[in-house]
Amino acid sequence: MDDKFPATGSQSTVSGSGAIANKGGAAAGAFGTAIGGDQYNITNNHAAGYRFEIRSYLRDKGPRANFGMGDPARFWDTLKQTTVSVEKLREILLNAPDDHLAALAQQPAQFVSVEGQLYPCGLLVSGWWESHFQKLDGLDKLNGVQKWLFNGFHAWGPSFDFSWDFDKPAADGSRPRFVAQLGSGDEANSIPVIIPADKAHKLRERFQERGRDIKLDVSPLSVTVEGVLCGRSQCPEAAKLGKVGGILDYCIWLKEGESSHRIQLDGKQTDIYSGYLWKCVAPKSLLGQDKPLELHHAYFLWEHTNFANEDSVKYNLDSLDHKQRYLEEKFHGSEPLVVLQKSNILVRGDPYWTQDQFYKYFQNREDI
């Protein structure tokens, strides 16, 4: 990994009167800039002013800016010549016609230079809810808080640092070795980056150094990533991701031993990179039994935070602990709730399950 300063790439801008933040991202409308995170559909209604429609996170799992994508062929040419922002890259991939994407899939992987914010997690956009949650017996036994937490966790699609376990990698190679996300402002607006072991070890030190600067264990880095843009099926490590990593069927792959594949720190300070802190907890008395732990036995506690700010993270960590104590007292007679797994090193508590166990369960590959 190189710490030199790269050339500044072009930024994506949108102007005009028709742009709205329909499913996330940033779009400029007739009267300014609308920034969405799959939360608001902003419609210009001249008779009644602006109308805000709250969208269902359960239906819209990933961000997609609803503005024109331009000429895809021209974009691919531009992609070879300059550094682009991750916003621009995602815009094209999300909005390109199927025939252009099909043509891309038939081509060799394209070398790209993309700038954004790098964080050591993979996005959990979707998982075993489709096959487990709807078939679960005893849904009527879930309390209202539990239902809300499940729905929120599934719909918002938080991140998990499942691949950054240097001491206990997957013994059978069933999960990717190192997956980070290159995003812009929020973890939902990201694309997976597959990183070889030698660069991952150096990167962890950089994440920790930046974290210590703001009194946290890790913090996002402002970088330029240079590697190949390819479909996940073209990258052996990314092919193991399944639905993890975002709604895009693409990743940026840094191949081992390729000197041109690198991550350059650009020296900028990241002020905002938002995402979810979470932990999965369950009553201590239910652990260690022969039968698998059912979904209705657990809670997914989450808080939206700014990973680049110490006060924001600690404020939300305290909120997580308060929620856990509330559930213990309200629904479990003060019986302790044990942390099964958690989003990353920032969250307090030693997980009962390994990262590998939780990842496989999330991927519907085994029961716990």
pLDDT per residue as tens digits for the range 351-366? 998 888 787 766 655 5
| β-pair type (250-253, 274-283) | unpaired
Mean pLDDT on 297-324:
95
SS (H, E, C) the chain: CECCCCCCCECCCCCCCECCCCCCEEEEECCEEEEECCCEEEEEECCCEEEEEECCCCCCCCCCCCCCCCCHHHHHHHHCCCCEEHHHHHHHHHHCCHHHHHHHHHCCCEEEEEEEEEECCEEECCCCHHHHHHHCCCHHHCCHHHHHHHHHHHHHCCEECCCCCCCCCCCCCCCCCCEEEEEECEEEEEEEEECCHHHHHHHHHHHHHHHHHCCCCCCCEEEEEEEEEEEHHHCCCHHHCCCECCCCCEEEECCCCCCCCEEEECCCCCCCCEEEEEEEEEEHHHCCCCCCCCHHHCEEEEEEEECCCHHHHHHHHHHHHHHHHHHHHHHCCCCCEEEEEECCCCCCCCCCCCHHHHHHHHCCCCCC
Mean pLDDT of the 85-103 span:
80
Q: What is the pLDDT of residue 134?
A: 53
Mean pLDDT of 11-32: 37
Predicted pLDDT of residue 97: 74
Q: How far is CA 364 from CA 126, 133, 147, 186, 356, in A?
A: 11, 12, 20, 27, 12
Q: What is the mean pLDDT of residues 174-196?
A: 88
Min mean pLDDT across 82-91, 100-109, 228-237, 286-295 is at 100-109
| Residue range 164-172: mean pLDDT, rounded | 67
258-263 long-range Cβ contacts below 8 angstroms, 24+ apart: 258/227, 260/111, 260/226, 261/226, 261/227, 261/228, 262/1, 262/2, 262/199, 262/226, 262/227, 263/1, 263/2, 263/118, 263/195, 263/199, 263/203, 263/223, 263/224, 263/225, 263/226
Tokens read off for 18: 């028709």
Give the pTM. 0.74
Q: What is the pLDDT of residue 171?
A: 57
pLDDT, average across residues 186-196: 92
More confident call, 310 vs 142: 310
Cross-strand partners of 18: 29
pLDDT at residue 122 greater than cutoff 70 = yes
Burial of 289 (0-12, 13-18, 19+ CB in 10 A): exposed
Q: Chain-centre distance of CA 41, in angstroms? A: 22
Highest mean pLDDT, choosing among 21-25, 155-159, 209-213: 209-213
* Tally of CA atoms within 13 A in the half-sphere of 25 that contains its CB: 28
Look at residue 158 and tell me whether its pLDDT is greater than 90: no
202-216 per-residue burial string, b: 16 or more CB within 10 A, e: under 16: ebeebbbebbeebeb
Confidence at residue 237, expressed as pLDDT on a 0 to 100 scale: 81
User: Distance between CA 163 and CA 177 in Å, rounded?
Assistant: 5
117 vs 144: which has the higher pLDDT: 117
Taking only the tens place, the pLDDT of each residue in 229-274 is 988 888 888 877 766 777 778 899 999 889 999 999 988 888 999 9
Radius of gyration of the chain (CA): 21
Cβ count within 10 A of residue 217: 13
Across all residues in the chain, what is the average pLDDT? 74
d(CA 325, CA 279): 13
Residue 94 pLDDT class (50, 70, 90 cuts): confident
Q: Which residues contact 171 (CB under 8 A, 6 or more apart)?
A: 356
> Contact at 8 Å (CB) between 290 and 249?
no
- pLDDT at residue 233, as a whole number: 80
